[in-house]
Chain A
Amino acid sequence: MSARDTGGDRLLPVQHLRPGDHAFVSYGDDEVRWEAVTAFVRLGLARGEKVLVLPCPGVPEDEVLARLDFPGRSTVPARGRGQLVVSCMREVIRPDTEFTAARQMGRLYAETDRATAEGYAGLRAYIDMGWVRALGADVEVMACRETGAQALFTGRPYTELCAYDRRRFDRAVLAAMERAHPRSLLERLGSLRSLRAPDGALCFVGEADAAHRTAFGRSLELALAQTAPARRLTVDLTRLHFLSVGCAVGLLRLAMGAAGHDLVEVRCAAGQRRLLQRLGAGTVPRLALTEVVRAW
């Protein structure tokens, strides 16, 4: 578990994406690249959304489908009924041959309306930004599109995940693109990140499963030590998609042992609150559970 804090306030696990979200993810490995897109696609299909996949040009469609289909041929029915569409940016902007943001956004706007008219809960699109080089588009044009796409998302059932290959874009472009997106995703399934929020809260993002129990506990111990003078610690669990029993118990035990603190506040979702209560949160002095409803 790393503790980088770049873009920390926007960082989410892919499972937390909701209609209206516009997210950035980057990858630097031809195996890892499939983790976010596979989760994005499969959860979208399960939630009744129409899913459009624009993979990196040059990756054979057979490989794309095989990756999405990894337990057998499980997305075949969705492709058959048109719920899952694999296409390319060239097709999206057709009949134009040169990329313009207006053309692309107009088409995605219309496709969102079409998806809802067809009875789907909305549209989600995965766009590998490898199309930029393939179409000879200008990075500046792409940057304007990414920062000026609010009309696609505001109040509309559209979700977009833009994936950047770190081997194809330089660091400055990647950093600018990450800032241009309201959301940024963890690259891998099953990963956990700890961050310090501007208000000092210790935030966990991702999946606090058994593999991360030790690191989860160490982050808490460090935060308790750092907040000893103030005698107060806030722990934010709301960007965790998964909280294991082991990590939850670890949190409660450390809070119970934090005798020098006046308060350990845990911001959590309803399910996390119920889990912590079931595991004995009520017996921990100076522990306060604050249920937070996601505001976005």
Chain B
Amino acid sequence: MVSPDPAGVPAEESGRRLLQRRFTARLLPQVRLLVEECAAREGLGEPRRGEFVLAVDEIAGNAVEHAGGAGRLVLRRVGDELECRISDAGPGFSEEVIPELLPGLDGAPKGRGLWLARLVADRFTVAAGAPGPGGPGAVVTLAVRLR
């Protein structure tokens, strides 16, 4: 099963923490279950709950594929929002790499997951993470309104 994340939560974080996990590819099914469980408990109904879990999985999967195979997820209730922050220690990226328009089906296969995650989120940001041996890292934050 998933092991507890020893890392602390930065002091500037607000809201009520619901979940904190480190993840690898192997643990993504469990992470989806836990995110779904927390979202249901906080009252996020379908179809938004399924879209939120999909968006979280796409961002976490992006960290696994492009940022050293692992990442860290923090899920919080912030006011009337459910917020998920996913950080990694990879080479970092900016929101500019996410296509504005969905690439055609015959086009490049990359970027659709992040494009979809941004589309379904009510709030979405990409920021630089804490520099590490793998690069500057990235922190992706997405949030959905619960009401």
Residues of A within 8 A of B (CB): 15, 34, 38-39, 42-43, 45-47, 67, 70-72, 189-190, 207, 209-211, 242-246, 249, 252-253, 256, 270-271, 274-275, 278-280, 283-284
Which one of B2, B36, B113 lies within 8 Å of A43 (CB-CB)?
A: B36
Given A71-B21, A270-B47, A279-B116, does the pair A42, B33 have CB atoms closer than 8 Å? yes
Docked CA distance A70–B65 (Å): 26
A279 and B25 contacting across the interface, CB-CB below 8 Å: no
- B2 — which chain A residues lie within 8 A by C-beta? 70-71
Pairwise interchain contact B4-A249, C-beta atoms closer than 8 A: no
The range of chain B's interface size is: 35 or more
Q: Measured between alpha carbons, how far is A43 from B29 in the docked complex, in Å?
A: 14
Q: Which residue of A lies closest to B53 (CB)?
A: A242
CA distance A45 to B33 in the complex (A): 13
Q: Which of B4, B50, B112 contacts A271 (CB 8 A)?
A: B50
CA distance A210 to B50 in the complex (A): 16
B6 at the interface (CB under 8 A from A): no
Is B19 at the interface (CB under 8 A from chain A)? yes
A189 to B57, CA, bound (A): 14
Q: Which of B25, B32, B46, B102 contacts A242 (CB 8 A)?
A: B32
Q: Judging by beta carbons under 8 Å apart, are B113 and A71 in contact? A: no
Known A47-B40, A209-B57, A279-B112; judge A189-B29 contact (CB<8 A): yes
Interface string of B44-86 (1 = CB under 8 A from A): 0011001101100110010011000000000000000000000
| A209 and B40 contacting across the interface, CB-CB below 8 Å | no
Q: Given A46-B37, A245-B58, A275-B54, A207–B113 Cβ distance below 8 Å?
A: no
Known contacts A189-B30, A210-B61, A274-B47; is-contact A70 B40 (Cβ 8 Å): no
Q: Give the residue name and chain of the B residue nearest to A14 (CB).
A: B33
> Is residue B1 contacting chain A, with contact meaning CB distance below 8 A?
yes
Cβ-closest chain A residue relative to B117: A245
On B, residues with C-beta under 8 Å from A are 1-2, 4, 19, 21, 25, 28-30, 32-34, 36-38, 40-41, 46-47, 50-51, 53-54, 57-58, 61, 64-65, 102, 104-106, 109, 112-113, 116, 119
Rounded to whole Å, the gap between the CB of B60 and the closest CB of chain A is 10
Q: In the complex the two chains form, is A271's CB within 8 Å of B51's CB?
A: yes
Known A47-B40, A210-B61, A242-B53; contact A280-B102, beta-carbon cutoff 8 A = yes
Q: How far is the CA of A274 from the CA of B105 in the complex (A)?
A: 16
Give the chain B neighbours of A278 by CB distance below 8 A: 102, 116, 119
Shortest beta-carbon distance from B4 to chain A in Å? 7
Contacting pair B112 A249 (CB below 8 A): yes
B86 CB to nearest chain A CB (Å): 15
A10 to B55, CA, bound (A): 29
- The answer to whether B29 touches A190, judged by C-beta atoms less than 8 angstroms apart, is yes
Residue ID in chain B nearest A253 by CB atoms: B105
CB pair B46–A271 under 8 Å, yes or no, is yes
